Structure 1
Amino acid sequence: MATDGNQKSLSLAFGVHHSPKDAPAKVVRQIESEAQALAVAIAAGHHKLDYIAACVGKSKAYVSRLQRGERPIPSKLVGPLCAATGSNLLRQYIDLQRALEGQCEVARLAELLRAAA
């Protein structure tokens, strides 16, 4: 296709994107909060808050509050944050906490069943 020379190629706004990678289980087990998971993922990727904020369509101040634990991380931002950081650490931490909560629920119900017998 011929062009008249006035067209310019568009570079990607935020670099080349790759699917987020899973963090090692050893790292996931050491994380204590969603905010810490986000902070570690950002630090591990050597990302700037401006970059993460632009990727998820939020302000730098908002992402900073998420990272410091001053605001809860909405479930609708988990995927975009993982994509922006290149790490599934946040999603893995959330999944681990849900699994642990379910395990506690099973133990509680088992105890009720034992008590009723």
Structure 2
Amino acid sequence: MNKLYFLLLIFPTIICSCNKSENEVETSTIVTFEKNPIVLNSDLQETEIQASSTYWIMTVTDKNNSIIEGDTINGSWYTLIKKNGGKSILIKVANNPEKERKLSIGIKKINYYSLLTIIQKAEEK
């Protein structure tokens, strides 16, 4: 009889505590961006790209093979700024008079990884 009371009391509590609406729980998926790769011309410019979900981490490997992680990353020719909790990323690039350059940005959200690629064309001569 005690087992029956225990089940009648505990079981509904467990079931109710697991019941969350989809609006309350964000499912984890690979983060994608509205454009990938992002192809830019050789001019000094900035562009903002929307992300498919929020709360992700960006990383870049610099020329010394050091991994840089953060909400703002400054490189020799670029600046990356995660905006509004990850709803978008602001990309600023310097003028490119030389050859085409590429940057791969690692995006991590929990156990999901993706890459965002930036390609900046060189000045036409």
Relative contact order, higher structure (CA 8 A, sep 6+): 1
> Which is higher, the Rg of structure 1 or of structure 2?
2
Q: TM-score, normalised by structure 2?
A: 0.28
Greater percentage in strand: 2
Greater percentage in helix: 1
Q: TM-score, normalised by structure 1?
A: 0.29
